[in-house]
Amino acid sequence: MLSDEEAGEIRQKLLSHIESNFPIEQRERAKQQLESMNSEQLESFLRRNKLIKEENTEETGEECVFCSIVSDRIKSIKIGENKYAIAVLEINPISKGHSIVIPRKHSNKTSKSSMNLAKKMAKNIKEKLSPRAVEIANSRLFGHEIINVLPVYNKENFNSERKPVRIEELEKVREELEKRKQSKRKKSKIEEFRSSWLPKRIP
């Protein structure tokens, strides 16, 4: 059975999914139904919709929430990947740029490749968003190990309040990062072009 912590986190993710993807006329009813569920009812709902997989039931083919993100059954904003893991922006972030690295394979262990991707994302976030620090920490839900990458701007930590955001807001964060990176390259090319045709100053 789901723990209170697991139920709370999954409920928040599903509420964000409803807010971002459901038609307006269906949102309130869906949110009310989800919020009225206790932990046992929520687990039953997840099983019916094949969104949960326990460590000892992999042969059933059911997916946990994180497996559903990897397989694109749940929409996410991907910011990086390698052969063994993907990195997505957290839909209930503690701070701007808060991300999670999810191993592609359902496992309760963190691979070196997953941790390497987390470190790569942390470095990129540090360079682009300029937080004071970027913290990395492992956690596990439904037998699926994930890695949190948390930018720290003030006094944020992994116990700080999480706030759901719309998918559109996360897309803006991703676009912002990409635009900053591109603008630097364009500026460099323009400067090179100008230097190639500007006449040399004659004393």
Domain count, the chain: 1
> Which segments of 57-157 are extended strands (E)?
78-81, 85-89, 99-103, 133-141, 144-152
pLDDT (mean) for 79-104: 92
Please check whether residue 15 lies inside any domain of the structure.
yes
pLDDT (mean) for 128-152: 89
CB 87 within 8 A of CB 78: yes
Please check whether residue 18 lies inside any domain of the structure.
yes
- The CA-CA-CA angle for residues 174, 20, 173, to 5°, reads 15
pLDDT (mean) for 169-189: 69
Give pLDDT, residue 165: 86
Q: Which of 41-55, 65-79, 94-108, 125-139 has the lowest mean pLDDT?
A: 41-55
Residue 183 burial (CB count, 10 A): 10
Tens-place pLDDT, residues 19-70: 666 667 777 877 777 777 777 777 777 766 655 554 444 444 556 888 888 9
6 versus 157: which is more confidently predicted? 157
Please check whether residue 94 lies inside any domain of the structure.
yes
pLDDT at 1 over 80: no
Please check whether residue 201 lies inside any domain of the structure.
no
pLDDT (mean) for 81-100: 92
CB 145 within 8 A of CB 138: yes
Please check whether residue 198 lies inside any domain of the structure.
no
Q: What is the pTM of this model?
A: 0.62
What are the strands of the beta sheet with 133-141, ordered from one edge? 78-81, 85-89, 99-103, 144-152, 133-141
Domain that holds residue 131: 4-191
Please check whether residue 58 lies inside any domain of the structure.
yes
Banded model confidence at residue 183, pLDDT cuts 50, 70, 90: very low
pLDDT (mean) for 148-160: 92
pLDDT (mean) for 127-146: 87
d(CA 65, CA 58): 14
108 versus 171: which is more confidently predicted? 171
d(CA 69, CA 201): 59
Tokens matching residue 115: 């941790």
pLDDT at 152 over 90: yes
For 122, what's the count of Cα atoms within 13 Å in the CB-facing half-sphere?
Answer: 18
Please check whether residue 114 lies inside any domain of the structure.
yes
pLDDT at 145 over 80: yes
Give pLDDT, residue 67: 87
Give pLDDT, residue 59: 45
Q: CATH number for the domain including 102?
A: 3.30.428.10
pLDDT at 161 over 60: yes
Give pLDDT, residue 186: 54
Average pLDDT over the chain, rounded to an integer = 78
Please check whether residue 119 lies inside any domain of the structure.
yes
pLDDT (mean) for 88-108: 90
